[in-house]
Amino acid sequence: MTNSRREIFSRLQQASSKTEQKTVTIKEYLSAHKRGVLPVYSENIVKRFISKVESVAATIESIKNITDLSTAIYKYMSCYNIEPKLVAAPSELLKQVKWQKEITVEYRAADAKDITTLTMAYAGIAETGSLVLCSGKESPTTLNFMPDNNICVIQKNKIYPYMEDTWDLLRKAGETMPRSINFITGPSRTADIEQTIQLGAHGPRRLHIIILESSPPR
């Protein structure tokens, strides 16, 4: 269908002019990464993150060290009567966790039968209470969407004020874009039946976030 491509571009060209000059301006525009209007807020970013997360029907708690993770998760699972079986993202940090014997853990992508998954956020956004997850060998995307319950760990120092901070982080890392970048704000929901909000449409019914206060050794 290269013909269509040619046709579309010739129509677009007819509608505009001075293309050459524009190529320069768009290069400048693209590399300026100019931020637009940012809604102002005065709260501390961690506080704001927590209150926003709670406002979208997710739950949140903090732990001091990564060594506290197993206990925290076991407590959470017992509280909601969830079978203590986890499918976890094969991230450096999560792989180091020493799990208590009651919990069975597998490190892999999700499949249809998995009830609970554990993931590691790339960043958190205080403006909206969103988690940012980037696909990669340590972070399979299906873990975010397949299970009934998703537990996600976020390091406290990775909570940033705005979505735009994610773009700077990704650029600084200098790598190419991951296949999928997910901004996750609360559990899955639908209002397609009589405008009534119902959680757990196709994605997780529950989202539990654990803030890790200490930054783990690299």
Residue 9 interacts with other proteins (CB under 8 A)?
Answer: yes
Give the tokens for residue 100: 């208590």
Pick from 43, 192, 213, 215: which binds other proteins (CB under 8 A)? 192
Cβ of residue 60: shortest distance to other proteins, in angstroms? 16
Q: Return the number of the residue (79 or 191) whose C-beta is nearest other proteins.
A: 191
Ranges within 171-190 binding other proteins (CB under 8 A)? 176-190
Backbone phi, then psi, for 129, in 5-degree steps?
A: 75, 35
Q: Return the number of the residue (116 or 130) whose C-beta is nearest other proteins.
A: 130
Residue 150 near residue 205 (C-beta atoms within 8 A): no
Q: How far is CA 24 from CA 16, 30, 153, 166, 186, in A?
A: 15, 10, 43, 27, 42
Give the tokens for residue 149: 């319950």
Cβ of residue 116: shortest distance to other proteins, in angstroms? 16
Ranges within 59-78 binding other proteins (CB under 8 A)? none
Cβ of residue 130: shortest distance to other proteins, in angstroms? 6
- The set of long-range contacts for 170-177, using a CB threshold of 8 Å and a minimum separation of 24, is 170/134, 171/33
Residue 150 near residue 206 (C-beta atoms within 8 A): yes
Cβ of residue 74: shortest distance to other proteins, in angstroms? 26
Ranges within 126-165 binding other proteins (CB under 8 A)? 127-128, 130, 135-137, 140-142, 144-146, 162-164
Pick from 64, 101, 172, 202: which binds other proteins (CB under 8 A)? 202
User: Reduced to 3 states, what is the DSSP secondary structure of residue 73?
Assistant: helix
Cβ of residue 184: shortest distance to other proteins, in angstroms? 6
Cβ of residue 143: shortest distance to other proteins, in angstroms? 9
Residue 19 interacts with other proteins (CB under 8 A)?
Answer: yes
Q: Which residues have a Cβ under 8 Å from the Cβ of 31 and sit 6 or more positions away?
A: none
CA 117 to chain centre: 14
Q: Return the number of the residue (101 or 202) whose C-beta is nearest other proteins.
A: 202
